[in-house]
């Protein structure tokens, strides 16, 4: 049975496009009011208008770079100023980089870690007490199939997603007695702007899925009687994740490196 989100409030990061926008549409259709966080104000405002008109929910757009200093405090202040209590959080904001680490821009690597890991952890910690107290919502942290093995030529990105997977599965256990549903969403290649930011499709492994397909996997997991602490989108992706966990790293890492440079 679909979980009822009527009258709840959900924060969604990276909400201006791709998976974030799809999560926003899905939760709004279930009655959730939204706080949409991303850098592009025009896209956030357009999405807010769309969802308010379609579903009659209240949508608060917040244009913000979550990798910037003080960004998480700014989200918290934005929420408090409006008297909102947060029931759900979708940590979707993040980006990847492709190429040898020794040739990567150091500042960009630092930004990637701050966004993919730092902001995600800080937002989760900031709102977890009220989400567990509410017990009506969900916590979704978006990782990747890159989380299941080291990823040469996307070394920092793969490591950030492995962190997200480990972190979220642990939080899922810690909060298991509350009504909060917690899962890590691990998509493979998805038709979003991800590879435009990466700058190449060499990093793509497997067939593309649509954002709607990926979000539907997450929602089925969250609606299940027992929500799994992590879920992989796509049967082939799920099988590959299992295989990566069973094979010796000495075999998995060179295989992954070849896939990253095909």
- HEC-encoded secondary structure of the chain: CCCCCCCCEEEEECCCCHHHHHHHHHHHHCCCEEEEEECCHHHHHHHHHHHHHHHCCCEEEEECCCCCCCHHHHHHHHHHHCCCCCCEEEECCCCCCCCCHHHCCHHHHHHHHHHHHHHHHHHHHHHHHHHHHHCCCEEEEECCHHHHCCCCCCHHHHHHHHHHHHHHHHHHHHCCCCCCEEEEEECCCECCCHHHHHCCCCCCCCCCECHHHHHHHHHHHHHCCCCCCEEECCHHHHHHHHHHHHCCHHHHHHHHHHHHCC
Q: Which of 157, 163, 194, 195 is catalytic?
A: 157
**Residue 173 annotated to the active site:** no
Q: Which residues are catalytic?
A: 157
């Amino acid at each position: 049975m679909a979980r009822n989100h009527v009258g709840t409030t959900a924060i969604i990061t990276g909400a201006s496009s791709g998976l974030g926008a799809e999560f926003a549409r899905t939760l709004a259709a279930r009655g959730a009011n939204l706080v949409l966080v991303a850098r592009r104000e025009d896209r956030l405002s357009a999405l807010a208008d769309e969802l308010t008109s379609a579903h009659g929910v209240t949508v608060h757009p917040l244009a913000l770079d979550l990798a910037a200093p003080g960004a998480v405090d700014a989200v918290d202040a934005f929420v408090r100023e409006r008297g909102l209590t947060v029931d759900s959080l979708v940590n979707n904001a993040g980006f990847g980089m492709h190429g040898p680490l020794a040739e990567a821009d150091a500042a960009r690597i630092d930004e990637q870690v701050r966004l993919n890991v730092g902001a995600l952890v800080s937002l989760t910690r900031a709102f977890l007490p009220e989400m567990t107290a509410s017990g009506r919502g969900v916590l979704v942290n978006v990782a990747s199939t890159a989380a299941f093995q080291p990823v040469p030529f996307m070394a920092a990105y793969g490591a950030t997603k492995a962190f997200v997977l480990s972190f979220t599965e642990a939080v899922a256990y810690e909060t298991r007695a509350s009504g909060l549903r917690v899962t890590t969403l691990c998509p493979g290649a998805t038709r979003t702007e991800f590879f435009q930011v990466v700058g190449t499709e060499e990093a793509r492994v497997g067939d593309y899925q649509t954002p709607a397909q990926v979000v539907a996997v997450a929602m089925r997991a969250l609606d299940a009687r027992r929500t799994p602490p992590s879920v992989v989108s796509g049967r082939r992706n799920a099988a590959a994740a299992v295989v990566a966990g069973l094979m010796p790293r000495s075999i998995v890492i060179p295989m992954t490196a070849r896939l990253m440079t095909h």
